[in-house]
Amino acid sequence: MCWGLFSLGWTVWFGIGVWGLNKTVGWGWDITNFVWWIGIGHAGTLISAILLLFRQKWRTAVNRAAEAMTIFAVICAGLFPIFHMGRVWLAFFTIPYPNSRGPLWVNFNSPLLWDVFAISTYFTISLLFWYSGLIPDVASVRDRAKSKIAKMVYSIMSFGWTGSAKHWQRHEALSLVLAGLSTPLVLSVHTIVSFDFATSVIPGWHTTIFPPYFVAGAIFSGFAMVLTLMIITRKVLNLQDYITIGHIESMNKIIVLTGSIVGCAYLTELFTAWYSQNMYEQYAFMNRALGPYWWSYWGMMTCNVISPQLFWFPKLRRSVTFTFFMSIVINIGMWFERFVIIVTSIHRDYIPSSWANYSPTWVEISIYVGTIGLFFTAFLLFAKTLPVIAMAEVKAILKTSGEAQKKAHAASHHHADIHTSSSGSLHPTKP
Amino acid sequence: MLTDTKKYVFTPQLKLIAYVLIALGVVGLGYGIFAYHGEHAHRLWANLLLNGVFFLGISMAAAFFISAHYLAWGGWFVVVKRIPEAIMGYLPIGAAILFAVLIFGQHDLYHWAHHGVVEEGAADYDPILAGKHGYLNNIFYYSRFILFVGALVFLAYLIRRNSIDSDNGNIADSVKFHKKNLVLVSIFIPIFAVYISVSAWDWLMSIDPHWYSTMYGWYVFASFWVTGIAVITLTTLHVKSKGYLKEVNVNHLHDLGKYMFAFSIFWTYVTYCQFMLIWYANIPEETIYFKHRFEHYKTLFFLVFILNFVLPFLILMSRDAKRNVVSLTAAACIIILGHFLDFYLMIMPGVLGDHAGFGILEICLPCLFIGILILVTHTRLGNAELINHNHPHLEESLHHEI
C-alpha cells in the first residue's frame, strides 16, 4: 500500500507520462483496474438489496462483509480515473456548478460524466446502507466493550441506539428505503461503465449487449471476491457455523449462473462480429483471439466461461478448497476480460501507421498492487473492529432457518401439524 | 395439507369461446389467402410469422418458468405450476406451425433466402449476404430449428410426464420424480439459453439481413418472458375465478405481479440500452433499423413504450395492486397486447416496408392462435390434478406468505 502511495505520488509529480500509455492506447491498466474494482464492488449491494427482494435468507451470513467490501472496492476503483486526469488537484472540475471558469461546463453528453454521478451516488448509498445496518450491532458491541475508550467510541458510533421499538421501526423503514434505492443503482453503475465503451464507434467497444453483460460480469466477479475474502475470514475467525457449506454452495450457484450469462455474451459478440460482415468488427475479434494479446483472450475464456462450469458438480461446489481456488481464477479471469476489452480493442487503430503496443510501467503495476494492499488493509481493519456478521439479521431468521429450531419443530411435529393449519392464512375460519 | 382436489372441468362455454375464436381466425386466414396472394403474399406470411413466433414464445416462456423454478429450488410456485405446464402443451403445435411458416413463407419473408443474392454475377448479388451464407443457408437454418426446438419440446414433454407421474404414487416415489426433473431442467436451461438468442437471430433479426445488434437475442427473450408470465397470471386468475385453486392466495398472485413488474422494467432496460447505444454511436448500418421504424411507425413506436413500460410500471407499483385481481388482469392484458405490437414492429417494417396495416387479417389471425392456446391449455388442465399434490415443496407453497 505504501509502495502504491509512493507510485501515485510519482505519477502526480512527473505526470501520467510515467505510465505506459501512448497516443493509440490511451486507456491501459488504469481503466482496466478501475472497471475491475467497480465490478467487485457489485456483490455487496446485490446481496443486500436484490437477494432481499428474492427472499434469499442465506444472504444474511455474508451481507455485512460483502457490503464493506463493496465500499472498499469502490474507493480503490475511484482512484484510477481521478489520477488518470493528470492534474488531480483539478478533479473537482467534473462537478457541475456555476463557476468562475466562464462558459466552461462539464459535458453532459459524455458517459464519463454520467460515471461520476453514478459512482458517487452508488458509493454514498452503499455507505449509508452498510452503516445503518451496522448500528444495532455496534450497539451490542458497545454494551459488551470492556475498556473505557472502546465503550466511548462504539457508543458514538451507535448513535445512542437503545433497541427500543421505535428505534427498530425507524431502522426497518430506513433499510427498506435504502434497499429500494440501491436496487436500481446496482444495475445502473455498471450499465453506465459499459456506456463508457459502448457509446463509442470503436470496433469491440460499440456493441449493444454491453450493459446487461457488464452487470452480469460485475456480479460474477463480486461474488468471486466475496468468496475469496469470506473463506479466509471464516477460517481465521472460526465462523464455520455462520458461513456454512450451504452458503458457499449458494454463492457458487450464482457464480455458475452469471459466468454462463457472461459466456453467452462473449459468444454472441464473437458471432455477431462475424455475422455483421463488417471488416473492422471482424478484424477486431480476430485480433483478440489471435493477435499479440491472444493470451489475455484465452485466459479470459478459460477462467470465466469454461472453469466455472465445473460448479455444475455438487461435489466441487461444496468443496471449500476448490471454491477458494476458483474464486482466485475468476478474479484473474475478470481482470483479463477488462484488459481484453480495453487494450486489444484500441491497440490496432484504423490507420496501420498508428498501431501501437502497450505494456505497463513499474508505476502502473505498483499502483495496482497498492490498491490491492489498500483493499485488504481496509477489510482487515473492518474485520478487527466491527462485527463481520450481521448479528441482528441472523437473529431475525434463526427461528425459521436455524437447524436447532428445525429439529425442535420436527420433534413436536404432531402438534405443529394442527397448529400451522389453523394459524395459516389459508383457513381463517377454523379455530 | 391439501383440502380439496376437485378436478378441473373445461366448461362448454369456454370451449365455445375457443371454437368461435378459431372459426374467426380461420375466416381471417381465408380472407388473407384470398386477398393477399401473388406479390401481396408478403403480408399474409408476415402475419403468420408474427403469430407463430409470438405464441410459440409464450409456451417456451412457460417451459422456462417451470425449469427456472425447479433449478432454483423454488417452493412458492408449486400451487400454480400446473398452469404453465398446461401452457407448455402448445409447444409441439406451435413448433409445427412455425416450422411450416418458415418453410413455405421463406421466400416472401427473408431476402437472404433468394437464390441470386449469393451468386456472384447475379442481378441481385449481395456481397454481405454472400458472406453470411455460412450461417444463413437452408440446411443449417432448418437443422438448427429441428435440433433445438425438437430438444426443447421433448424435454418439456418429459418434465410434464414426470410431474404427472409423481401424483400417482406415494410421497417417497415423488422425490424420485422430482430428482429426475431436476436433471431434465438442468439440460433444458442451457439449451434454452443458447437457443433463445439463436432463434431471435433466425426468426426475426435475419428479416433485416444487413442489420445486427448483439442485444437482440436478450431483447426478444425479455419480451417472450414477460408475456409468458402475463399469460400465466391471466390463466391462473381465470381458473381461480371459476372456484378452483383456492390454495392460490394473494401471496402467490403478489409474486406473479412482481415478476410482471420487474420484467417489464427489464424489457425497458434492454430495449432502451439497445436503442440509446445505436442512436448515440450513429453508425448508418445500425441506425437504419430505428430510422425506418421511427419515420413510418412513430405512433406504434411510442405506443409500445407506453404499453410495455409506462402502464405496467404505474399500475403494478404498489403492493396492493400486485395483490388485486383487477389491476393484475389489466396489467397482464396490457402487457400481452403491448408485446404483440412489439413483435409487430420487429417484423412488419422489415417484410412490408411502410405498407403494413391493420386489417381483417391482422385482427382475426391472432384469434385463431388464442383459440388454439385456450383449447390446449384448458384440456391439459382437465387432464391432471390442478395441484401437484406430491411435490416435495408443496407445504412451502401452501404456507407461502409475503
A63-111 pLDDT, tens digit per residue, is 888 888 889 999 999 888 888 888 888 888 888 887 777 777 888 888 8
Angle, helices B298-305 vs B325-352, to 10°: value is: 150
Which of B135, B270, B280 faces A212 most closely, judged by CB atoms?
B270
Q: Is B277 on the interface with A (CB under 8 A)?
A: yes
Q: Is B186 on the interface with A (CB under 8 A)?
A: yes
In a domain, A171, yes or no: no
- Let me know if A371 is exposed, middle or buried by CB neighbors in 10 A (0-12, 13-18, 19+): buried
Other beta carbons less than 10 A from residue B241's beta carbon: 11
Q: How much helix, strand and coil, in percent to the nearest 5, is found in chain B?
A: 80, 0, 20
Other beta carbons less than 10 A from residue B30's beta carbon: 12
| Among candidate residues A35, A52, A38, A33, the one with its CA nearest the CA of residue A182 | A52
- Three-state secondary structure readout of chain A: CHHHHHHHHHHHHHCHHHCCCCCCCCCCHHHHHHHHHHHHCCHHHHHHHHHHHCCCHHHHHCHHHHHHHHHHHHHHHHHHHHHHCCCHHHHHHHCCCCCCCCCCCCCCCCHHHHHHHHHHHHHHHHHHHHHHHHHHHHHHHHHHCCCHHHHHHHHHHCCCCCCCHHHHHHHHHHHHHHHHHHHHHHHHHHHHHHHHHHCCCCCCCCCCCHHHHHHHHHHHHHHHHHHHHHHHHHHHCCCCCCCCHHHHHHHHHHHHHHHHHHHHHHHHHHHHHHHCCCHHHHHHHHHHHHCCCHHHHHHHHHHHHHHHHHHHCHHHHCCHHHHHHHHHHHHHHHHHHHHHHHHHHHCCCCCHHHCCCCCCCHHHHHHHHHHHHHHHHHHHHHHHHCCCCCHHHHHHHHHHHCHHHHHHHHHCHHHHHHHHHHHCCCCCCCC
What average pLDDT does this structure show over A417-430?
36
The rounded distance, in Å, linking the Cα atoms of B261 and A234 is 38
For residue B246, the chain A residues in CB contact (below 8 A) are 426
Q: Which has more pLDDT, B388 or A431?
A: B388
| All cell numbers assigned to B276 | 440509446
User: What 3-state class would DSSP assign to B170?
Assistant: coil
| All cell numbers assigned to A47 | 446481496
- For residues B181 and B70, is the Cβ–Cβ distance under 8 A? yes
Percent of the residues in chain A that have a pLDDT greater than 70, as a whole number: 91
Q: What is the per-residue pLDDT for B231?
A: 95
In a domain, A146, yes or no: no
* Cβ–Cβ gap B273/A206 under 8 Å: no
* Cβ–Cβ gap B201/A424 under 8 Å: no
How many angstroms away from the CA of A208 is the closest CA of chain B? 5
How many angstroms away from the CA of A259 is the closest CA of chain B? 12
Radius of gyration of chain B, Cα coordinates, nearest whole angstrom: 22
- Let me know if B130 is exposed, middle or buried by CB neighbors in 10 A (0-12, 13-18, 19+): middle
pLDDT digit string (tens) for chain B, length 402 residues: 666 667 888 889 999 999 999 999 999 999 988 888 877 888 899 999 999 999 999 999 999 999 999 988 888 888 898 999 999 999 999 999 999 999 998 888 998 888 888 888 888 888 888 888 888 888 999 999 999 999 999 999 999 998 888 888 777 778 888 889 999 999 999 999 999 999 999 999 999 989 999 999 999 999 999 999 999 999 999 999 988 888 888 989 999 999 999 999 999 999 999 999 999 998 888 899 998 888 889 999 999 999 999 999 999 988 898 899 999 999 999 999 999 999 999 999 988 888 888 888 899 999 999 999 999 999 999 888 888 888 888 888 888 887
Percent of the residues in chain B that have a pLDDT greater than 90, as a whole number: 59
C-alpha to C-alpha distances, A132 to A75, A172, A180, B316, nearest whole angstrom:
19, 10, 14, 29
How many angstroms away from the CA of A112 is the closest CA of chain B? 14
The string over A201-223, giving b where at least 16 C-beta atoms fall within 10 Å of a residue's C-beta and e elsewhere, is eebbbbbbbbbbbbbbbbbbbbb
| Longest distance between any two alpha carbons in chain B, whole Å | 74
Which of A198, A277, A421 faces B131 most closely, judged by CB atoms?
A277
pLDDT tens-place string over residues A131-160: 888 888 888 888 887 888 888 888 888 787
Using the predicted structure, report yes or no on whether residue A227 has a pLDDT greater than 80: yes
- For residues B71 and B185, is the Cβ–Cβ distance under 8 A? yes
Percent of the residues in chain B that have a pLDDT greater than 70, as a whole number: 99
| Among candidate residues B120, B53, B136, the one with its CA nearest the CA of residue A276 | B136
Which of A201, A272, A424 faces B212 most closely, judged by CB atoms?
A272
* Cβ–Cβ gap B3/A427 under 8 Å: yes
| Among candidate residues B234, B239, B231, B261, the one with its CA nearest the CA of residue B62 | B231
- The helices-and-strands tally (H runs, E runs) of chain B is 17, 0
- DSSP 8-state symbol, B203: I
In a domain, A431, yes or no: no
Q: What is the per-residue pLDDT for A403?
A: 60
In a domain, A160, yes or no: no
Q: What is the per-residue pLDDT for A126?
A: 87
Phi, psi of A283 (to 5 degrees): -65, -40
For residue B362, what are the contacts with CB-CB under 8 A and spacing of at least 6? B47
In a domain, A14, yes or no: yes
Confidence category of residue A407, pLDDT binned at 50, 70, 90: low
- For residues A10 and A18, is the Cβ–Cβ distance under 8 A? yes
* Cβ–Cβ gap A264/B281 under 8 Å: no
Q: Structure pTM?
A: 0.89
Domain count across chain A: 1
| All cell numbers assigned to B74 | 423454488
- For residues A72 and A128, is the Cβ–Cβ distance under 8 A? no
Q: Is B217 on the interface with A (CB under 8 A)?
A: yes
- For residues A81 and A110, is the Cβ–Cβ distance under 8 A? no
The rounded distance, in Å, linking the Cα atoms of A79 and A374 is 11
Dihedral of the CA atoms A258, A260, A261, A262 (nearest 10)? 90
pLDDT tens-place string over residues A252-310: 888 899 899 999 999 999 999 899 888 888 888 888 888 888 888 888 888 888 888 88
CB-side neighbour CA atoms (13 Å) of A67: 30
| Among candidate residues B339, B393, B328, the one with its CA nearest the CA of residue B79 | B393
CATH number of residue A362's parent domain: 1.20.1630.10
Using the predicted structure, report yes or no on whether residue A414 has a pLDDT greater than 60: no
- For residues B388 and B70, is the Cβ–Cβ distance under 8 A? no
CB-side neighbour CA atoms (13 Å) of B241: 11
Choose, out of A276, A279, A305, A422, the residue to mutate when testing the contact with B (most B CBs < 10 Å): A276
Residue A89 structural domain = 2-96+104-124+187-391
User: What 3-state class would DSSP assign to B308?
Assistant: helix
Confidence category of residue A181, pLDDT binned at 50, 70, 90: confident
The predicted complex's ipTM stands at: 0.87
- For residues B398 and B79, is the Cβ–Cβ distance under 8 A? yes
Q: Is B234 on the interface with A (CB under 8 A)?
A: no
> To which residue does cell 479466509 refer?
A232
The rounded distance, in Å, linking the Cα atoms of A305 and A262 is 7
* Cβ–Cβ gap A211/B1 under 8 Å: no
In a domain, A209, yes or no: yes
The rounded distance, in Å, linking the Cα atoms of B371 and B32 is 18
> To which residue does cell 447475379 refer?
B122
User: What 3-state class would DSSP assign to B309?
Assistant: helix
